[in-house]
Chain A
């Protein structure tokens, strides 16, 4: 298990956010430690996505502070915020590949702009490395529209990895995928952690995914952190809400 004595790489304190008077996040606090896979579990519409979008700065929280790698990011200007963002990889639910570009261009897009690398050979090598890590080297010159959902997801992850992030945020990595592909993605998440030494937050409602990838789980409900602990610890808890989730998992694995 992870060592907890270090400074957490990411810390969220008392985060509030509401849309049109409807509270989505209510006093959320959490910490992500180095080298840890933190799964945030919960039903749809419980503010999980809003939470990680607040972390990356796509949504501005109403209240609360977020520390990323020791820096308070809630009041950073655009430029400083972008510097922080370059250390975070964000895998979107719908992969969000740039439609108009080939896979190669998708991957080099941020490389060229953030790291200012323009040497074609160096770019090519980096793209191939990243694609090899997700097992899709052959798709290098394909357009995103030619790829399947699982492949797009992998490319989306590769696009983050190529920037060598310290923190990975996965938004519903297995949503809309068949079980086989899902478990492949779960394995990929673990491999990424191994190879790139990233700390990750994984947002999911998929209990299998949580079980496979999690070092620690936070169960969110109604915009609050409801329960926290390892998979086993939560499994032992006697909570009707949690029960439903875990039963579903058990049915699958009988």
Chain B
């Protein structure tokens, strides 16, 4: 991927996002499809991740005699890191590959050309709608992932120490600050945008051959995931410097 080309691609996304006509219907449709495709998977994985993380942190905390800190520890870990990361990775895998494959196969079978030739703007219809959809849906999915992971963690905590839900909940939220909550929603906006841009770029600019489909699906996933980690790293630096 050439940097200048990607830059122009992103610039075009911004330009066409804010210029009429708007593909509202298709954007909503994409939001629905993306949410539909990933919600169950994200819910399931974050539930398990909540349980696993809780179970694995417990022995260390017990060693320090601080088992009662488990809810706070887990809630911070989930909201700051685990929830957004799990969501972003699942979305890179699930949405990235499907977007990359879908767009590149449309390219190979000349469907993108057909749209272009009929005088409609395929970029707007195919790329912009998907990027908007990921940018909007990933944060929403993160909220669900956080909630479900906390549930999973509660199940694990309750299994060991019969903590009431109210106490778990109070302790979990006591540890969280506004910054944590906001970072858990702002970070995924960038995750979603990156996943959308990378995958549509890989699909939209795929080589015109059948191998291009597999290649761009693969590329979408790999590069999205790397981007997610890079953004996560940068976010830690930025939000870390904002913390008192």
Binding site for B on A (CB under 8 A): 53, 56-58, 78, 82-83, 85-86, 88, 90, 92-94, 96-100, 109-110, 113-114, 156, 159-160, 163
Contact = CB atoms under 8 A, between A and B. Distances in A.
A94 B112 CA distance: 12
B120 A96 contact: no
Interface stretch (B71-79, B86-94, B103-111): B103-111
A100 B33 CA distance: 12
Given A99-B106, A113-B21, A56 B111 contact: no
B234 interface: no
What 6 A-B pairs are tightest by C-beta distance, nearest first?
A96-B114, A85-B119, A86-B119, A90-B117, A96-B110, A110-B118
Contact of B111 (A57, A98, A110): A98
Contacts of B111: 96-99
B171 interface: no
Given A58-B117, A82-B119, A96-B114, 16 more contacts: A57-B117, A82-B120, A83-B119, A90-B114, A90-B117, A90-B118, A92-B117, A96-B109, A96-B110, A96-B111, A98-B114, A109-B115, A110-B119, A114-B119, A160-B118, A163-B118
Interface in B156-189: none
A144 to B, nearest CB: 10
B26 to A, nearest CB: 10
24 contacts: A78-B121, A83-B119, A85-B116, A85-B119, A86-B118, A86-B119, A90-B117, A92-B114, A93-B110, A94-B110, A96-B111, A97-B114, A99-B106, A109-B118, A109-B120, A110-B118, A110-B120, A113-B21, A114-B118, A114-B120, A159-B118, A160-B118, A163-B118, A163-B119
Contacts of A78: 121
Interface of B: 21, 102, 105-106, 109-111, 113-121, 125
Nearest to B102: A100
Contacts of A58: 113, 116-117
Contacts of A83: 119
Contacts of B105: 99
Contacts of B110: 92-94, 96
Contacts of A57: 116-117
Given A94-B109, A96-B109, A113 B114 contact: no
A93 B114 CA distance: 11
B117 A56 contact: yes
A78 B119 CA distance: 9
Contacts of B102: 100
Contacts of A99: 105-106, 109, 111
Contacts of A159: 114, 118
A110 B118 CA distance: 7
A114 B110 CA distance: 19
A126 B113 CA distance: 23
A3 B193 CA distance: 56
A88 B120 contact: no
Nearest to A115: B119
Nearest to A79: B121
A92 B118 contact: no
A15 B89 CA distance: 49
Nearest to A56: B117
A99 B105 CA distance: 10
